[in-house]
Amino acid sequence: MSDFSIGVDLGGTNLRVAAVTSEGRLLEKVSIETKVSLGPEPAIDKMCGAIQQLIAKYKNNNLCGVGLGLPGIVDIENGIMRKAANLPGWENYPARAEIERRLRTSGILQNHAQVVVENDARAAGFGEHWIGAGRGVRNMAMLTLGTGIGGCVILDGKIWYGMNGMAGEFGHVTVEPDGQPCGCGNRGCAERYASASAIMRMAREAIASGAGSLAQAASSDAEFGVKSIFQLAMQGDEHARKIFRTFGRYLGILLADLVNILNLEMFVIGGGVASAWESFAPTMMNELCARSIVFGATASNAASCAAASNAASPKKETVDSQVPANSLRQTVITRAVLGSDAGLYGAAHLAELANHKFAKDMK
Ligand SMILES: [Zn+2]
């Protein structure tokens, strides 16, 4: 009999539920097609149905709890989704209370099993810290590049929330003073330049100014998106490559600020767009090297910067993205390794830790 928890990742279009052991082993993962944007009730019903099935299936193990990652501003103390830019109808929804009510009434959640909610980018960062790229690292940050930029800061092994839970809004750091307007009210926010929506905006602008290859791809491919632009870039299409160079440049500007301010051991880059790493990492690293005194302060980082600036071809990745053996005391910039499952692992682990805390407090 081993301990396990349920992790839930609520995206804009789908819902995923996983059973994860306390050692970080995935027992099972299910995806549920549901129109999350239609409002919380039907999605929560389906979610609780899937949770019940998984718990029943692994009932010979000890259930620690259920952790839920939500896309928006989450009040973790009260278990409420406060603001959800992409999920109309979810604002001020008491997610934790509703899930607990359903699961406890059906008798599936017993004793000291806990339900916790968390912002999805923080859950992903916590997952990477637990069993992903940041395993064993005490202080790190993760940037989740998706529609926007999600952030997670981990200090001394714990998520740093700030005064009112809003720390880590990396996406709204200004990288261009008079730049693109952002939904937050500012201009020139990082997520207007280094996210999936930024890539699509740059592609539309390039098409409008005569980028024939992109226009052709957009009209012939019904699924035209970031992936198609990345493929074009990897085939050497100059318009597509330029988009990713710009993307990498702004991401590097953001990273340089974060490295200078926080001086953390590791910065993990995750989210869907991170899979286009080869196309943006060179300009990202060049910009980071040029702008961050803190990054260049260790010999190994200085050597990476020298290698990056001497690169003959911008196509070739010159900076080692893997954590080298002698990485002690240097700033490591690396790709996430858990992919879209990071949030599932992180949410499950948060539920497990809440359970341990509850058991300790009860003593
Ligand atoms: Zn903004």
211-222 tens-digit pLDDT: 999 999 999 999
Instruction: Output the CA 166–ligand 1 centroid distance in Å.
Output: 13
- What are the start and end residues of each CATH 3.30.420.40 domain in the chain? 3-124+341-362, 138-336
Q: Is the confidence at residue 316, as pLDDT, over 90?
A: no
pLDDT digits 0-9 by tens, 6-36: 999 997 677 999 999 999 999 999 999 888 7
CATH topology of domain 3-124+341-362: Nucleotidyltransferase; domain 5 (3.30.420)
Instruction: Output the CA 182–ligand 1 centroid distance in Å.
Output: 5
How many C-beta atoms lie closer than 10 Å to residue 111's C-beta?
Answer: 9
Q: Is the confidence at residue 313, as pLDDT, over 80?
A: no
Q: Is the confidence at residue 2, as pLDDT, over 90?
A: no
How many C-beta atoms lie closer than 10 Å to residue 56's C-beta?
Answer: 9
The CATH superfamily of 138-336 is ATPase, nucleotide binding domain (3.30.420.40)
Which residues in 241-274 are b (16+ Cβ under 10 Å) and which e? bebbbbbbbbbbbbbbbbbeebebbbbbbbbbbb
β partners of residue 143: 151, 269
Q: Is the confidence at residue 258, as pLDDT, over 90?
A: yes
Instruction: Output the CA 172–ligand 1 centroid distance in Å.
Output: 4
Instruction: Output the CA 308–ligand 1 centroid distance in Å.
Output: 30
Instruction: Output the CA 194–ligand 1 centroid distance in Å.
Output: 12
CA distance 284 to 244: 10
Give the pLDDT confidence score for residue 213 in this predicted structure. 95
pLDDT digits 0-9 by tens, 128-150: 999 999 999 999 999 999 999 99
* Secondary structure (H, E, C), 140-179: EEEEEECCCEEEEEEECCEECCCCCCCCCCHHHCECCCCC
Instruction: Output the CA 104–ligand 1 centroid distance in Å.
Output: 39
Instruction: Output the CA 189–ligand 1 centroid distance in Å.
Output: 5
Which range, of 69-83, 314-328, 342-356, averages the lowest pLDDT?
Answer: 314-328
314 Rama sector, left if φ>0, alpha if ψ -120 to 50, beta otherwise: alpha
Q: Kindly report the CA angle at 74 between 20 and 111, in degrees rounded to 5?
A: 45
Give the pLDDT confidence score for residue 362 in this predicted structure. 86
Q: Kindly report the CA angle at 173 between 172 and 176, in degrees rounded to 5?
A: 105
Supply the DSSP string of 296-359, one letter for each residue. GGSHHHHHHHHHHHT-S-TTS--S--S--TT-TTS-EEEE-SSGGGHHHHHHHHHHHHHHHHHH
- Cβ partners under 8 Å of residue 271, min gap 6: 124, 143, 144, 145, 146, 149, 150, 336
Residue 164 pLDDT class (50, 70, 90 cuts): confident
Instruction: Output the CA 176–ligand 1 centroid distance in Å.
Output: 11
Q: pTM of this prediction?
A: 0.92
Instruction: Output the CA 184–ligand 1 centroid distance in Å.
Output: 4
Q: Is the confidence at residue 328, as pLDDT, over 70?
A: no
